[in-house]
Amino acid sequence: MQSKHQKVQIGIVGGTGYTGVELLRTLANHPFAEVTMITSRSEDGVAVAQMYPNLRGIYDLQFSVPDIEKLKTCDVVFFATPHGVAMSMAPELIAHGVKVIDLAADFRIEDLAVWQEWYGIKPASEALMAEAVYGLPEYYREKIRDAKVIANPGCYPTSILLGVLPLLKAGLVNANSLIVDGKSGVSGAGKGANVAMLGAEMSESFKAYGINGHRHLPEMKEKLSQLIGQQVGLTFVPHLLPMVRGMESTIYATLKTDKSQAELQTLYETAYENEPFVDVMPAGSTPETRMVKGSNMCRMAIYCPPGGNMVVVTSVIDNLVKGAAGQAIQNMNIMFDLPENAGLNQVALLP
């Protein structure tokens, strides 16, 4: 879809959190996009540059209370809000021809009973869900092009789905016994005050959490099952790392037939050879979170440890970029027939 404007006119609802400012940072370098409004009920009237000094001289915007009539003047509205907000405003926006990209979880799980079980509030209507497309470009690109509503994937699901799907789609591993060990920086918990995220609580420490159930688990199981046409058994244990941003997922799967390291390397290189934001690293590489910090890239490597039938994939992303704002902008680019890498060519910060 071509925008009716020279530049895509963008509204951001809920702009004071980490994903909101990451949207602003990334869109500042987008040649075909213009942010026209950004909302916050609690910070109405506050200048964006006052809250985020890194954006001084970049944006002459103030936060304002969400106004559905003003949002209707946009081409696309990003929701960087708590669960439940996007689904309440999306119907009126899409009826007016505005595209919606939700960075929360309102549209990520198609089984609405499962969604309500995990999120504890009334889910989106079936009619609204029928308009939603899961926004993982590498596997849903054609559906994204014509979508009215995008469910931007969770950060863990992004790193894990990209890491394991080549194996599953090729039928090379047992889909019933996947194990994933995920690690994330504290920005993944959001900006809200939380004692567990205080520096004195989480620095110089490392812990697992959500072992008995994490909201990203049903999202991953549903999408994996849909994409390979069979049920998937997945054990997922996330961990909190004492760093601000970055995510590493180590995936363990059991090979059904013998495959060499070279064969698996070729499988992954072929699967992602035309993907601008997936980098399959050479055999023997060890992806590090700092290799993707601040960028929209997912970097991964595949291993066959000797003496067994296990295959191991390690996948790294920046949870705020490819895991949130960057992927949302990648989806916008596809929806508006823009170059997919527009505004997303930032090189990772290293060191």
Which residues are known to be catalytic? 155
- Return the H-helix or E-strand segment holding 301: strand 298-303
C-alpha to C-alpha distance for 176 and 150, rounded to whole angstroms: 29
DSSP 177-230: -EEEEEEE-GGGG-SS--GGGSHHHHTT--EE--TT--THHHHHHHHHHHHHTS
| Residue 90: closest CA among 151, 141, 30 | 151
Residue 144 to residue 135: CA distance in whole angstroms: 7
Ranges assigned E (strand) in 217-297: 234-240, 247-254, 278-280
- Output the CA torsion sign for 183, 188, 189, 193: positive
Residue of 177, 135, 141, 173 lying closest to 157 (CA atoms):
135
DSSP state of 325: I
The rounded distance, in Å, linking the Cα atoms of 343 and 161 is: 24
Find the helix packing angle between 326-335 and 18-27, rounded to 10°. Answer: 50
CA 39 – CA 328 distance, rounded (Å): 18
Question: What is the CA 57 to chain-centroid distance, rounded?
Answer: 28
The neighbouring-strand residues paired with 38 are 12, 63
